Amino acid sequence: MKNGVLGVQTIRNNIMASTLLATTAITLSSLIGVFANYESDTKLVYGNKTSLNSSIKRLCISLCFLVAFLCNVQSIRYYAQVSFLITTHALKSQRDFIEYAARSLNRGSYSWSLGLRAFYFSFPLVLWIYGPIPMFACSCFTSFILYFLDTTTQITRDLHTKSFNKKETGDTTEAA
DSSP labels, 52-69: HHHHHHHHHHHHHHHHHH
- What pLDDT, on a 0 to 100 scale, did the predictor assign at position 136? 93
Q: With respect to residue 175, please indicate whether it lies within any of the assigned structural domains.
A: no
- What pLDDT, on a 0 to 100 scale, did the predictor assign at position 107? 94
Q: With respect to residue 62, please indicate whether it lies within any of the assigned structural domains.
A: yes
- What pLDDT, on a 0 to 100 scale, did the predictor assign at position 166? 63
Domain region containing 162: 2-169
- What pLDDT, on a 0 to 100 scale, did the predictor assign at position 18? 87
- What pLDDT, on a 0 to 100 scale, did the predictor assign at position 57? 86
- What pLDDT, on a 0 to 100 scale, did the predictor assign at position 47? 63
- Along the 176 residues of the chain, how does pLDDT read in single tens digits? 556 667 777 888 888 888 888 898 888 888 877 766 665 555 555 666 677 887 888 889 889 999 999 999 999 999 988 888 877 766 556 778 888 888 999 999 999 999 999 999 999 998 888 888 889 999 999 999 888 887 777 777 777 677 656 655 655 554 43
Q: With respect to residue 176, please indicate whether it lies within any of the assigned structural domains.
A: no
Listed in order, strand segments (DSSP E) in 15-152 are: none
- What pLDDT, on a 0 to 100 scale, did the predictor assign at position 142? 93
Tally DSSP H helices, then E strands, for the chain: 5, 0
Total Cβ atoms within 10 A of residue 91: 8
- What pLDDT, on a 0 to 100 scale, did the predictor assign at position 28? 84
Residue 89 CB burial class (10 angstroms; 0-12, 13-18, ≥19): exposed
Q: With respect to residue 39, please indicate whether it lies within any of the assigned structural domains.
A: yes
Q: Is-above-0.85 flag for pTM?
A: no
What is the count of structural domains for the chain?
Answer: 1
- What pLDDT, on a 0 to 100 scale, did the predictor assign at position 174? 47
Q: With respect to residue 156, please indicate whether it lies within any of the assigned structural domains.
A: yes
- What pLDDT, on a 0 to 100 scale, did the predictor assign at position 175? 45
Q: With respect to residue 30, please indicate whether it lies within any of the assigned structural domains.
A: yes
Q: With respect to residue 174, please indicate whether it lies within any of the assigned structural domains.
A: no
Cβ-count burial 107-141 (b if 16+ within 10 Å, e if not): bbeebbebbbbbbebbbbbbbbbbeeebbeebbee
Q: With respect to residue 159, please indicate whether it lies within any of the assigned structural domains.
A: yes
